[in-house]
Amino acid sequence: MALMDCLPITEHLSRITTEFATQWWHWFFFAQPDIPERVINADPDSWYRGDPRAMGQDNYDEWRAATRNPDVVRAMLEDYRAGLTIDRRHEEDDRAAGARIQCPALILWSLRDDLEDLYGDPLKIWQSWASDVRGHGIDSGHHVAEEAPEALASSLAEFFAGQHHV
């Protein structure tokens, strides 16, 4: 499996600092029932900013239509709601049962985002969750696929081709 710019939700929650709460306030806002939909759908452009030059015009147009669709907005918010409820509970249950991820895990993260700044080496954290962990940072901001597509594609291709020295 390949995971990008993420940690288990319980790892985030167990490490909450003032910096995290300030930078990631949207997690807790998005998890509220109904309020975020009303706020976001009232002015999608203030929440979602894309760049048609970076994304390509067709991708940008599709993305822009999606961020104006109330069903899509609700679905995106439900991911945050699940993270703080059922996903968190499932992780806690897995930890209590001693479960570990058994398949090879490629962990990639953005070097110009805050994951490493907030928590240190993501590989060390994932090693307590999975038996076979490897990976590295990619020189990009949060949107790795858009900002560093070649580096991402190369890392994924090498990993999934079985050349596990990424």
Residue with tokens 């945050």: 80
Return the domain boundaries, the chain.
Answer: 1-17+101-166
Stated pTM of the model: 0.85
- Note the pLDDT tens digit of each residue in 35-87: 999 999 999 999 998 889 988 899 999 999 999 999 999 999 999 999 999 99
Task: Assign 3-state DSSP to the chain and report helix, strand, coil percentages, each to 5.
Answer: 60, 10, 30
Asked whether residue 163 carries a pLDDT value surpassing 80, the answer given is no
pLDDT of 54: 82
What gap in Å lies between CA 26 and CA 48, rounded to an integer? 13
- Note the pLDDT tens digit of each residue in 110-156: 999 999 999 999 999 999 999 999 999 999 998 898 889 999 999 99
Asked whether residue 164 carries a pLDDT value surpassing 70, the answer given is no
What gap in Å lies between CA 59 and CA 33, rounded to an integer? 30
Do residues 56 and 75 make contact, with C-beta atoms less than 8 angstroms apart?
A: no
